[in-house]
Amino acid sequence: MKDFKHLSATSFDAAVALLANGKSEVIAGGTDLIYSMKGMHTPNLPDTVIDIKNIPDSAYVKEEGGYLKIGALTTLADIANNNTVRGKYTVLAEAAELVASTELRNVGTIGGNICQKPRCIYYRNEFNEFPCIRKGGATCYALTGVNKYHSIFGMMGSCLAVCPSDIAPALVALGAKIVTTKKTWEASDFFGLDQRRFNGEKINWLADDEIVKEIQILTAMYRSTYKKWSFRKAIDFPMVSAAVVIKDSKATVALGGVYNTPRLFIDISISNATAAGEACVKGAVNTFDSAYKIQIAKTMVKRAIEELA
287 part of the interface to other proteins, by CB under 8 A:
no
Distance CA 309, CA 298 (A): 16
Q: How far is the CB of 231 from other proteins (least distance, A)?
A: 6
Distance CA 56, CA 11 (A): 7
Q: How are the residues of the chain apportioned to helix, strand and coil, as percentages rounded to the nearest 5?
A: 30, 25, 50
235 part of the interface to other proteins, by CB under 8 A:
yes
1 part of the interface to other proteins, by CB under 8 A:
yes
153 part of the interface to other proteins, by CB under 8 A:
no
List of residues 6+ apart from 64 with CB closer than 8 A: none
Candidate residues 6, 221, 231, 248; the one interacting with other proteins per rule CB under 8 A: 231
135 part of the interface to other proteins, by CB under 8 A:
no
Among the listed ranges 1-9, 73-81, 109-117, 211-219, the one in contact with other proteins (CB under 8 A) is 1-9
Q: Which is nearer to other proteins, 3 or 248 (CB)?
A: 3
Candidate residues 6, 127, 138, 248; the one interacting with other proteins per rule CB under 8 A: 127
Element (H, E) at 174: helix 167-174
125 part of the interface to other proteins, by CB under 8 A:
yes
Nearest 5°: the CA angle 145, 291, 265 is: 120
194 part of the interface to other proteins, by CB under 8 A:
no
Distance CA 139, CA 186 (A): 31
44 part of the interface to other proteins, by CB under 8 A:
no
Sheet containing 61-64, strands listed edge to edge, beginning at the edge strand earlier in sequence = 61-64, 67-71, 212-218, 177-180, 184-186
Bridge partners, 8 (sequence order) = 51
Give contact residues for other proteins (rule: CB under 8 A).
1-3, 39-40, 101, 121-122, 124-127, 129-130, 141, 144-146, 148, 229, 231-237, 286, 289, 291-292, 294-296, 299, 302
